[in-house]
């Protein structure tokens, strides 16, 4: 890509200390998995959502992750001799959101058991690693924790992905899909061809990307438009509530709300809740109008009965996931 192409696609740039939110958004371009790191010390349990988990070494088997120095759970992780890394599966978004919030009883109602070290192992995850705390380093406003893996387990489940400040799924790249379709045509089907979640995610990503120019015309990012829609349906919401309703992380919700406030599309009122403004409703109406026209165009070639069947199936699937 030429420097001219780079300039055409540039969204923002600068120095991290001048604009920490922009810096965080740039970091969000790097896709990661999502894990809940757990530990126990005495009768205290600790668990936090983290996407800083990474492998350091195979021999010896070392991993690392980081935790904010102001985190309430830091004393437990420092006292505990072991911790466990629970890599979340694709259907554990609600669990990720739960452990990302400050709460005194995050484990209430959550299925888990103690591992050999005593650290909680959460049920239905994609993998877990039981680690002995090997070292700790100061890293600015975070503490970096190194663990030596004593035991691991991997399960046959799709993994949860986090990028651009929102959750996603791990699916084959479209270039790989071309090769896969060739195999299908020759009579060698791929096991994911009839798997619903990757098909849904692929369709969403492609449609969302195609709609991006309409969001840009309204001066909104995808996360800002999500938050704005949630505010219209649930005025007087806290940032924590908006994060949960829009399925984006707390930091992403904070960034989106800050942009909406600065542009006059939302307003803060006591006690720390946010309302949509008249200008915000007008902007939301504009993007909804565009979205309806865009959807109608994309669905024009699909029989109406098939579209209605798809709507019913997705609504039923949403209800079933909440039960």
The reply to whether 136 and 247 lie within a common domain is no
Expressed as residue numbers, the domain containing 144 is 32-161
In a domain? residue 92: yes
In a domain? residue 201: no
pLDDT at 184: 45
pLDDT digits (tens, 9 = 90+) for 259-296: 899 999 999 988 889 999 999 999 999 999 999 999 99
The reply to whether 71 and 154 lie within a common domain is yes
Per-residue confidence band for 177, with pLDDT thresholds at 50, 70 and 90:
low
Of 161, 193, 221, which residue constitutes the final position of a domain?
161
In a domain? residue 173: no
The reply to whether 131 and 36 lie within a common domain is yes
The reply to whether 129 and 218 lie within a common domain is no
Neighbours of 39 (CB within 10 A): 26
Of 124, 141, 161, which residue constitutes the final position of a domain?
161
CA 114/CA 96 separation, integer angstroms: 19
In a domain? residue 184: no
**What HEC string does the chain produce?**
CCHHHHHHHCCCCCCCCCCHHHHHHHHCCCCEECEEEEEEECCEEEEEEECCCEEEECCCCEEEEEEECCCCCHHHHHHCCEEEEEECECCCHHHHHHHHCCCCCCCCCCCEEECCCCCEEECCCCEEEEEEEEEEEEECCEEEEEEEEEEEEECCCCEEEEECCEEEECCCCHHHHHHHHHHHHCCCCCCCCCCHHHHHHHHHHHHHHHCHHHHHHCCCCHHHHHHHHHHHHCCCECHHHHHHHHCECHHHHHHHHHHHHHCCCEEEECCCEEEECHHHHHHHHHHHHHHHHHHHHHHCCCCHHHHHHHHHHHHHHHHHHHC
Of 161, 178, 198, which residue constitutes the final position of a domain?
161
The reply to whether 281 and 218 lie within a common domain is yes
Q: Among 205, 113, 120, 193, which Cα is nearest to 161's?
A: 205
The reply to whether 217 and 99 lie within a common domain is no
pLDDT digits (tens, 9 = 90+) for 118-171: 999 999 999 999 999 999 999 999 999 999 999 999 998 889 998 878 888 777
In a domain? residue 187: no
The reply to whether 36 and 153 lie within a common domain is yes
The reply to whether 233 and 315 lie within a common domain is yes
The reply to whether 38 and 146 lie within a common domain is yes
CA 262 to chain centre: 25
Q: Among 135, 20, 148, 141, which Cα is nearest to 85's?
A: 148
In a domain? residue 182: no
CA 260/CA 252 separation, integer angstroms: 12
The reply to whether 148 and 219 lie within a common domain is no
In a domain? residue 157: yes
Q: What pTM, to 2 d.p., does this model score? A: 0.66
CA 71/CA 239 separation, integer angstroms: 18
* Token duo for residue 36: 């809940």
CATH number at residue 126: 2.30.110.10
- How many structural domains compose the chain? 2
Decide if 162 contacts 33 (C-beta within 8 A): yes
Work out the angle at residue 184's Cα, subtended by the Cα atoms of residues 182 and 188, and round it to the nearest 5 degrees. 115
Q: What are phi and psi of 140, to 5 degrees?
A: 65, -120
In a domain? residue 36: yes
Decide if 80 contacts 50 (C-beta within 8 A): no
pLDDT digits (tens, 9 = 90+) for 209-222: 788 888 888 888 88
Q: At what angle do helices 278-299 and 222-233 cross, to 10 degrees?
A: 110
pLDDT digits (tens, 9 = 90+) for 209-256: 788 888 888 888 888 998 999 999 999 999 889 988 887 777 788 888
113 beta partners = 121
The reply to whether 143 and 65 lie within a common domain is yes
The reply to whether 113 and 224 lie within a common domain is no
CATH number at residue 253: 1.10.10.10
Work out the angle at residue 50's Cα, subtended by the Cα atoms of residues 63 and 95, and round it to the nearest 5 degrees. 125
């Amino acid at each position: 890509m030429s420097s001219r192409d780079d300039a055409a696609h540039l969204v923002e740039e600068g120095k991290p200390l001048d604009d920490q939110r922009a810096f965080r958004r740039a970091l969000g371009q790097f896709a990661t998995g999502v894990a809940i790191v757990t530990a126990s010390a005495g009768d205290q349990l600790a668990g936090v959502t983290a996407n800083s988990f990474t492998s350091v070494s195979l021999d010896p088997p070392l991993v690392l992750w980081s935790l904010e120095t102001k985190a309430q759970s830091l004393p437990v992780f420092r006292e505990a001799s072991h911790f466990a890394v629970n890599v979340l599966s694709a259907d554990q978004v609600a669990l990720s959101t739960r452990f990302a919030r400050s709460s005194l009883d995050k484990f209430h109602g959550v299925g888990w058991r103690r591992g050999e070290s005593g650290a909680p192992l959460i049920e239905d995850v994609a993998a877990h690693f039981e680690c002995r705390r090997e070292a700790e380093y100061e890293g600015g406003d975070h503490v970096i924790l190194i663990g030596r893996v004593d035991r691991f387990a991997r399960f046959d489940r799709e993994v949860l992905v986090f990028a651009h400040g929102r959750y996603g799924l791990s699916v084959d790249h479209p270039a790989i899909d071309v090769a896969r379709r060739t195999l299908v045509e020759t009579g060698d089907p791929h096991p994911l061809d009839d798997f619903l979640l990757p098909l849904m995610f692929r369709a969403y990503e492609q449609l969302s990307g195609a709609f991006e120019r309409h969001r840009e015309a309204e001066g909104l990012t995808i996360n800002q438009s999500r938050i704005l829609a949630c505010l219209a349906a649930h005025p007087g919401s806290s940032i924590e509530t908006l994060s949960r309703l829009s399925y984006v992380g707390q930091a992403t919700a904070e960034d989106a709300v800050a942009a909406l406030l600065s542009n006059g599309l939302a307003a803060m009122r006591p006690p720390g809740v946010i309302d949509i403004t008249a200008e915000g409703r007008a902007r939301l109406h504009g993007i909804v109008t565009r979205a309806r026209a865009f959807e109608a165009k994309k669905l024009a070639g699909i029989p109406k009965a098939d579209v209605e069947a798809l709507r019913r199936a997705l609504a039923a699937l949403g209800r079933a996931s909440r039960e």
